[in-house]
């Protein structure tokens, strides 16, 4: 049945409509069929014509970039804190890993005034 639906979608000449329908079929088929089967039947170039598909991809890219930026900020701040204060308590490390990018930026400036790990703990409590 999925093959028939895909064949009908392929017959649509208007690219934007075909792409949007292909994206809808992809979402719905994903609820019932194996991922490999859906990918094999729905060609990616058709999916790329869909504004919905493009929006989903763009959101995924943005989330990935944001996550990468946050992870890099954590690494830099952790490196600076280790140089400044020595090896940090795992509890403090976990708290730092949970900070937003904005808070990590604030911490990167505040850590210049830290003398002990207690200073860091107090700052994290704010």
Distant-in-sequence, close-in-space partners of 18: CB < 8 Å, separation ≥ 6? 9, 10, 12, 46, 49
Core vs surface per residue 105-122: b (16+ CB within 10 A) or e: eebeeebeebeebeebee
| Burial class, 64, CB count within 10 angstroms (exposed 0-12 / middle 13-18 / buried 19+) | exposed
User: What pLDDT was estimated at residue 120?
Assistant: 98
pLDDT in tens, 61-74: 999 999 999 999 99
DSSP string, 8-38: HHHH---HHHHHHHHHHHHHHHHTTS-HHHH
**What's the first-to-final CA gap in the chain, in angstroms?**
59
Instruction: With a cut of 80, say whether residue 2 has pLDDT above it.
Output: no
User: What pLDDT was estimated at residue 47?
Assistant: 65
Q: What percent of the chain has pLDDT over 70?
A: 94
Q: Are 29 and 38 in contact (CB under 8 A)?
A: yes
CA 75 to chain centroid, in Å, comes to: 18
Model-level pTM? 0.62
Rounded CA-CA distance 102/44 in Å is 37
């Amino acid at each position: 049945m999925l093959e028939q639906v895909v064949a009908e979608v392929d017959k649509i000449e208007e690219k934007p409509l075909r792409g949007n329908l292909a994206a809808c079929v992809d979402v719905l088929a994903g609820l019932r069929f194996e991922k490999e089967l859906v990918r094999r039947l729905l060609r990616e170039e058709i999916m790329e014509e869909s504004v919905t598909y493009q929006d989903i991809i763009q959101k995924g890219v943005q989330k990935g970039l944001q996550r990468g930026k946050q992870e890099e900020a954590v690494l830099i701040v952790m490196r600076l804190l280790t140089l400044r204060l020595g090896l940090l308590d795992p509890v403090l490390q976990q708290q730092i890993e949970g900070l937003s990018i904005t808070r990590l930026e604030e911490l990167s400036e505040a850590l210049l005034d830290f003398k002990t790990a207690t200073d860091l703990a107090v700052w994290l409590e704010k």
